[in-house]
Amino acid sequence: MAALDYLYRFTNYENLGRYKYSRTTFDLERMRDLLGWCGHPDRAVPLRIHVAGTKGKGSTTLLTAAILQEAGWRAGTYTSPHLEDIRERIAVDGNWITPSALDEHIDALREYLDMPRETLSPTFFDIMTTIAFREFARQDCDAAVIEVGLGGRLDSTNVIEPTITAITPVHYDHMDKLGNTLSEIAYEKAGILKPGVPAIVGPQSPEAAEVIRRRAARLGIPVWWFGKEIQVVLIDEQYFDVVTPVREHRGLRLPAAGVHQRENAATAIGLCDWLNENQKRPITRQHIQSALSGIQLPGRIELFDMRRPRIILDSAHNAISAGALAQTLKASFQYERLYLVLGISSDKAVHSVLEALAPLAYKIIATAAPSPRAMSPGELAQAVTQTTGESVRSFERPVEALQTAILEATDDDLIVIAGSFFLAGDLRPVLRKLGYS
């Protein structure tokens, strides 16, 4: 606990709504200096897979690592933010970093972190990223799958020398920092592309694709594009085919709901097919199918249906994720009425989220995501009224909002929790206590 208290003393931009997005604030030289002091653990893992994007990068990271693990690789994952426990961010073969290991890494960095300096100190995310690299080196990982935190170009993770990169769909999010156009946002995401390093690119708008294409051409790197080199054929709600330049994967099954998750899986398969072809590591269709069948994607259209009414927990917080959630609700779920428990950060485009989800909702219940950046329930309720014309109830405590929905809903209704990873993480343990699983 003392080590974590020490860690949380450092600037954590995840909890700040407004800050300067620049090379000074996000100084990669600061990261390189810290890693150099540690002996460059970022270079210890033989294969390094770097994943950026607006939507789907977390799922793609987890899917890729699961496939590698099934194939016998020792695979580390670094993701953010976390739902319930900070240890979720750093895992090896699906097992979170232990509390003692996390404490040991923090204590080992204290000497460097406490040094007097004229420049900005490392941030919370800098330190967590360094701890991830140290843990992967300590556990002799064969591969590390690293999810970008914010953007890509200036992200702390962008100090790595990747074996291969991936860019999942680019859309509008963090616009006050990354830019107001898809071209500007794509420029930041494409900052992870490196000379001589191949890339897998997921579904993109023409505007974003053009920016990525130009940078890839300038760097002279090979790219497998979704819809061209990577083809996906949806068979039904669970089964699909994926064809890459080197292999055909027929009749794959992914229990996770949503067309977007099949697209994320195709990106992960593209990464693994390239590695299998170029690194001579055997990754078979059986490995891929086994990984997809057993994958768990917490907080991503996660269904709790052991009790009634059924509850879906999702972290949709921008237009593209809310749209994917709405599409999946219409295509894959039947219900009488839908209760939407919503809590969202103040720096998010709340009206875009509401435009996607409000038309499906019988009632919307506003609450506050447990984050310093959270929009107040009153402000959110007002935004809902402005968008829908309907008055809504609001609750300061998320658990009260959830309990209200459960009490009012019938067995044939569906409750959807959305708007924030912080809200999903806060209510996930509550659902387990209530007997949901």
Query: Which of the following CATH numbers is that of domain 2-294: 3.40.190.10, 3.40.50.300, 3.30.420.40, 3.40.1190.10?
Result: 3.40.1190.10
According to the per-residue pLDDT averaged within each range, which of 5-19, 221-235, 281-295, 296-310 is highest?
A: 221-235
When the pLDDT of each residue in the chain is averaged and rounded to a whole number, the result is 93
pLDDT band at 238, cuts 50/70/90? confident
C-alpha dihedral sign at 123, 126, 128, 130: negative
Q: What percent of the chain has pLDDT over 70?
A: 99
Rounded CA Rg of the chain: 21
**Residues contacting 212, CB < 8 A, separation 6+:** 167, 170, 186, 189, 190, 193, 199, 201, 204, 223
pLDDT band at 366, cuts 50/70/90? very high
Name the CATH superfamily housing domain 302-433: Mur ligase, C-terminal domain (3.90.190.20)
- Residue in 216, 278, 212, 292 with CA at minimum distance from that of residue 247: 278
Q: What's the pLDDT at 348?
A: 65
- Please state which of the ranges 16-20, 25-29, 253-257, 288-292 shows the lowest mean pLDDT: 16-20
Q: Are 242 and 231 in contact (CB under 8 A)?
A: yes
- Integer Cα distance of 394 and 381 in angstroms: 6
Is pLDDT at 347 greater than 70 in this prediction?
A: no
Q: Are 339 and 362 in contact (CB under 8 A)?
A: yes
Question: Length of the chain in residues, anyone?
Answer: 437
- Say how many C-beta atoms besides its own lie within 10 A of residue 387's C-beta: 17
Q: What's the pLDDT at 15?
A: 79
Is pLDDT at 161 greater than 70 in this prediction?
A: yes
Q: What's the pLDDT at 423?
A: 94
What number is the average pLDDT over the span 143-153? 96
pLDDT band at 306, cuts 50/70/90? confident
Domains 2-294 and 302-433 share a fold: no
Which CA distances in Å does 164 have to 157, 320, 420? Answer: 14, 25, 30
- Say how many C-beta atoms besides its own lie within 10 A of residue 117's C-beta: 12
Q: Are 156 and 126 in contact (CB under 8 A)?
A: yes
Q: Where are the domains of the chain?
A: 2-294, 302-433
3-state secondary structure the chain: CHHHHHHCCCCCHHHCCCCCCCCCCCCHHHHHHHHHHCCCHHHCCCEEEEEECCCCHHHHHHHHHHHHHHCCCCEEEECCCCCCCHHHHEEECCEECCHHHHHHHHHHHHHHHCCCCCCCCCCHHHHHHHHHHHHHHHCCCCEEEEECCCCCCCCHHHHCCCCEEEECCCCCCCHHHHCCCHHHHHHHHHHHCCCCCCEEECCCCHHHHHHHHHHHHHHCCCEEEECCCEEEEECCCCEEEEECCCCEEEEEECCCCCHHHHHHHHHHHHHHHHHHHHHCCCCCHHHHHHHHHHCCCCCCCEEECCCCCEEEECCCCCHHHHHHHHHHHHHHCCCCCEEEEECCECCCCHHHHHHHHHHHCCEEEEECCCCCCECCHHHHHHHHHHHHCCCCEEECCHHHHHHHHHHHCCCCCEEEEECCHHHHHHHHHHHHHCCCC
What number is the average pLDDT over the span 355-370? 93
Is pLDDT at 21 greater than 70 in this prediction?
A: yes
- Residue in 298, 293, 287 with CA at minimum distance from that of residue 254: 293
Q: What's the pLDDT at 17?
A: 66
Q: What's the pLDDT at 211?
A: 98
Which neighbouring-strand residues pair with 152?
A: none
Is pLDDT at 163 greater than 80 in this prediction?
A: yes
Question: Between these two residues, 50 and 282, which has the higher pLDDT value?
Answer: 50
Is pLDDT at 1 greater than 70 in this prediction?
A: no
With tokens 């200036």, the residue in question is 154
- Residue in 138, 139, 156 with CA at minimum distance from that of residue 147: 156
- Integer Cα distance of 83 and 224 in angstroms: 32
Is pLDDT at 175 greater than 80 in this prediction?
A: no
Q: What percent of the chain has pLDDT over 90?
A: 80
Which CA distances in Å does 237 have to 35, 261, 360, 434? Answer: 45, 11, 20, 29
Q: What's the pLDDT at 38?
A: 96
What number is the average pLDDT over the span 185-189? 96
What number is the average pLDDT over the span 61-78? 97
pLDDT band at 279, cuts 50/70/90? confident
Is pLDDT at 19 greater than 80 in this prediction?
A: no
- Integer Cα distance of 330 and 326 in angstroms: 6
What number is the average pLDDT over the span 393-404? 95
Q: What's the pLDDT at 378?
A: 93
pLDDT band at 398, cuts 50/70/90? very high
